[in-house]
Amino acid sequence: MKLCKVTFLPETRSVSVHTGSTLLKAASMAGVHINASCGGAGTCGKCRAVVQGDNFRTEPSIHLTPSEMKKGYVLSCLTVVQGDLTVEIPREAQKGVGVRIDTGRRPGGELLKIGDRKIRPRTKKLHLKITPPTLNDNISDLDRLFRELKKAGYKDLDITCGLPVLQKLGRTLRESHWDVTVTLFWNRCEIEIMDIEPGDVTLSRYGLAVDVGTTTVVAYLVHLNTGKIVDVESDLNAQIRCGEDVISRIVYATEIGTVEEVHNLVIETINGLVEKLAAKNGILPESIDSVVSAGNTTMTHLLYGIDPRYIREEPYIPTVNLFPVIKAREIGIRVNQNASIYSVPGTASYVGGDISAGILASGVYKSDALTIFIDIGTNGEIVLGNKDWMVAASCSAGPAFEGGGVKFGMRASRGAIEGVRIDRKTLEPTCHVIGDAEPQGICGSGMIDALAEMYLAGVINQKGKFVQGLKTDRIREGETGLEYVMVRRDEDKGEPDIVLASADIDNIIRTKGAIYAGFKTLINEMNLTFQDVERFVIAGGFGNYIEIEKAIIIGLLPDLPEERFHFIGNSSIIGSYLVLLSKELRLEAEEIARKMTYIELSVSHSFMDEYMSALFLPHTNMDDFPSVKEIIRKRKISG
């Protein structure tokens, strides 16, 4: 095997790889991001690249048209390097710059506060002036420190001290003239001396709350004395180059790459956020002495570097739900190396710590009101219950609402169509694009809007199939069947029209059908009806942008009065923040994780039946959607 030079444009980054490497692998080695929703399985069509020259071998794909292939378009994961190459990454395959990330900021720029909770973080800084040793008082430095802590009131707890602190203890005590600040960490019934620093540094006390999302990672820098959120940063999870959903991520970690590689990518993302937060706020990363994270079970396994393969193998058992508290140095997070890392515990393989954090943040677990909580992402995790009981499930909705499996699907970022109206007479669309930019594709909220509008305008029928014989040139035969042209562009400039094709519509209907079937299965399991549900809490960044009426029209959400729906945004980061600040809330989060009863939908016959009934607009049973029935009746009268 010889070494070849591959140069990626537009960044002009080069890398040497052996012949036989895929372009996707070469890009990863060069640190060049290429969208790879399926993690290199060749099924999503997102890893497009334009190759110059002949030094490659590739496979055809249904995701590329003959004219695109003539222009040099290939799928990076199906293309093998055979010599020196120059490769252009088209805009649509580049990293989602400016992806709209819900950081938990409320309207007006305010960040959520801890409310009436007492701020009692698990770490504390204590300033001590210690009596120096003499020939008569000659106990060891560590015993002297223990004695001082007991004098300060820490009598009834076991106190421990790790090796890194011991290694610097003698020098720090003497160089500071016995005037030090110790950082104490409460780990259930014992206290650990986590760090020792010269002088009084009790005011320099920071913590980090992190939402480790499959797509994005959000971090709050928090002042632990006041509970104030000093700043917030977010970025795409660098693991995204290994696949967009958790299953592709597991496949990549266990079959294509390594667990270590995927683990390192998320650590790299978190370290990037720490660096930015520290630099912007003039603090040292070492002054962050406590980290709380929340993520789904796969993300948390990968954060800890734990092999996640059993999560996707029946009977779907994770290695751990309640993760042990570890030190930052153990996984390479660049804050204080002795800082504790705690992850909000999960309930099962597909109901993780992000959902426990969401239930904590939304207060479902202490409310009398019967509530449905849903976090819509690549998976739809659902919790039904109240303060007395909670059942949870996860429906593998698929990544359609995040842009996967839809030809012009993209995440909610600049250039994404997020809203659509279709004139009922002319069938002409009006699109609202994020950032008022040139449209590049369509994001989840745009898909919901488009489907609802196409249905109400009579472009598609209840099965989601195109209605024949309509007088409009917006419907045409495309390469994969009939399609609706949402935006006309200049094909000669390599910019094909943005369309929603039959296959895309089928995918969106499957996604919404899985989510609705998840709600219905839990409701049936508990012998309830949707009318019994008093509160419907929608979490997740995407949820914020859903138009409730449109989501009901396509049958994604049940037909309930609009006032019962509440948006909570990124509840995973809010829950992590609460746990960071309060030992009591940490225990409550653990209680939530234990209390939720998990129902595995993938083996439920009732779920499959509900799913089949939900593959219509809005549903086979229109009586469950009286408001949509009424809209359709009025449309027929007026039409």
Min separation Cβ 215 and ligand FES, Å? 15
Q: What does the radius of gyration of the chain's CA atoms come to, in whole angstroms?
A: 27
Residue 231 sits at φ, ψ, to 5 deg, of: -165, 165
Judged by beta carbon, residue 43 or residue 524, the one nearer ligand FES is: 43
Q: Which amino acid is at 321?
A: N
Q: How far apart are the C-alpha atoms of 295 and 210, rounded to whole Å? A: 9
Judged by beta carbon, residue 79 or residue 298, the one nearer ligand FES is: 79
**Strand, helix or coil at 32?**
coil
Min separation Cβ 36 and ligand FES, Å? 4
Min separation Cβ 234 and ligand FES, Å? 24
Judged by beta carbon, residue 44 or residue 341, the one nearer ligand FES is: 44
Q: Burial of 19 by CB count in 10 Å (0-12 exposed, 13-18 middle, 19+ buried)?
A: middle
| Residue 450 interacts with ligand FES (CB under 6 A): yes or no | no
Judged by beta carbon, residue 238 or residue 457, the one nearer ligand FES is: 238
The distance from CA 582 to its chain's CA centroid, rounded to whole angstroms, is 24
Chosen residue from 8, 32, 33, 45 binding ligand FES by CB under 6 A: 45
Among 42-50, 271-279, 328-336, 601-609, the segment contacting ligand FES (CB under 6 A)? 42-50
Binding pattern to ligand FES, positions 290-329, x when CB under 6 A?
----------------------------------------
> Which tokens is 538 given?
């929608």
Q: Which residue is associated with the tokens 């960490």? A: 185
Chosen residue from 25, 33, 46, 474 binding ligand FES by CB under 6 A: 46
| Residue 251 interacts with ligand FES (CB under 6 A): yes or no | no
Judged by beta carbon, residue 205 or residue 241, the one nearer ligand FES is: 241
Q: How far apart are the C-alpha atoms of 229 and 111, rounded to whole Å? A: 7
Judged by beta carbon, residue 358 or residue 404, the one nearer ligand FES is: 404
> Which tokens is 604 given?
């439920």
> Which tokens is 521 given?
């299965």
Min separation Cβ 56 and ligand FES, Å? 15
Among 13-21, 44-52, 272-280, 282-290, the segment contacting ligand FES (CB under 6 A)? 44-52
Judged by beta carbon, residue 99 or residue 240, the one nearer ligand FES is: 240
Judged by beta carbon, residue 40 or residue 429, the one nearer ligand FES is: 40
- The answer to whether 447 and 401 are in contact (CB under 8 A) is yes
Min separation Cβ 164 and ligand FES, Å? 42
Min separation Cβ 248 and ligand FES, Å? 8
Binding residues among 22-41 for ligand FES as defined by CB under 6 A = 36-38, 40-41
**Strand, helix or coil at 299?**
helix
Which pairs count as long-range contacts for 427-435, CB under 8 Å and 24+ apart, including other chains? 427/457, 427/459, 427/470, 427/472, 427/474, 427/475, 428/472, 428/474, 429/453, 429/474, 429/486, 429/487, 431/486, 431/487, 434/100, 435/98
Min separation Cβ 295 and ligand FES, Å? 23
Chosen residue from 43, 176, 187, 627 binding ligand FES by CB under 6 A: 43
Judged by beta carbon, residue 44 or residue 278, the one nearer ligand FES is: 44
Q: What DSSP line would sit under 66-92, residue for residue? A: HHHHHTTEEEGGGEEE-S-EEEE--GG
The count of residues interacting with ligand FES (CB under 6 A) is 14
- For 517-538, letters b (16+ CB in 10 Å) and e give bbbbbbbebeeeebeebebbbb
Residue 296 to residues 227, 251, 328, 389, 611, Cα–Cα distance (Å): 25, 16, 20, 21, 24
CA-nearest of 204, 185, 159 to 340 is: 185
- Beta-carbon count within 10 A of 336 CB: 24
Residue 226 sits at φ, ψ, to 5 deg, of: -105, -20
Judged by beta carbon, residue 222 or residue 242, the one nearer ligand FES is: 242
Q: Burial of 330 by CB count in 10 Å (0-12 exposed, 13-18 middle, 19+ buried)?
A: exposed
Min separation Cβ 69 and ligand FES, Å? 14
Apex 77 CA angle, 499 and 331, nearest 5 = 110
| Residue 42 interacts with ligand FES (CB under 6 A): yes or no | yes
Min separation Cβ 290 and ligand FES, Å? 37
Min separation Cβ 42 and ligand FES, Å? 5
Min separation Cβ 61 and ligand FES, Å? 7
Task: Say how many Å lie between the first and final Cα of the chain, rounded.
Answer: 68
Q: What DSSP line would sit under 407-470, residue for residue? A: TTB--SSTTEEEEEEE-TTT--EEEEEGGG----EE-HHHHHHHHHHHHHTTSB-TTSPBPTT-
Min separation Cβ 308 and ligand FES, Å? 19
Judged by beta carbon, residue 75 or residue 236, the one nearer ligand FES is: 75
| Residue 44 interacts with ligand FES (CB under 6 A): yes or no | yes
Judged by beta carbon, residue 75 or residue 311, the one nearer ligand FES is: 75
Min separation Cβ 38 and ligand FES, Å? 4
| Residue 341 interacts with ligand FES (CB under 6 A): yes or no | no
Judged by beta carbon, residue 47 or residue 384, the one nearer ligand FES is: 47
Judged by beta carbon, residue 76 or residue 293, the one nearer ligand FES is: 76
Q: How far apart are the C-alpha atoms of 604 and 306, rounded to whole Å? A: 29
Min separation Cβ 245 and ligand FES, Å? 11
Min separation Cβ 417 and ligand FES, Å? 22
Judged by beta carbon, residue 223 or residue 241, the one nearer ligand FES is: 241
| Residue 47 interacts with ligand FES (CB under 6 A): yes or no | yes
Query: How would you classify the pairing of strands 380-385 and 390-395?
Result: antiparallel
Judged by beta carbon, residue 45 or residue 104, the one nearer ligand FES is: 45
| Residue 403 interacts with ligand FES (CB under 6 A): yes or no | no
Q: How far apart are the C-alpha atoms of 440 and 92, rounded to whole Å? A: 7
Min separation Cβ 598 and ligand FES, Å? 30
Q: How far apart are the C-alpha atoms of 395 and 300, rounded to whole Å? A: 19
CA-nearest of 536, 246, 542, 574 to 377 is: 542
Binding residues among 64-123 for ligand FES as defined by CB under 6 A = 75-77
Which residues are at the interface with ligand FES (CB under 6 A)?
36-38, 40-47, 75-77
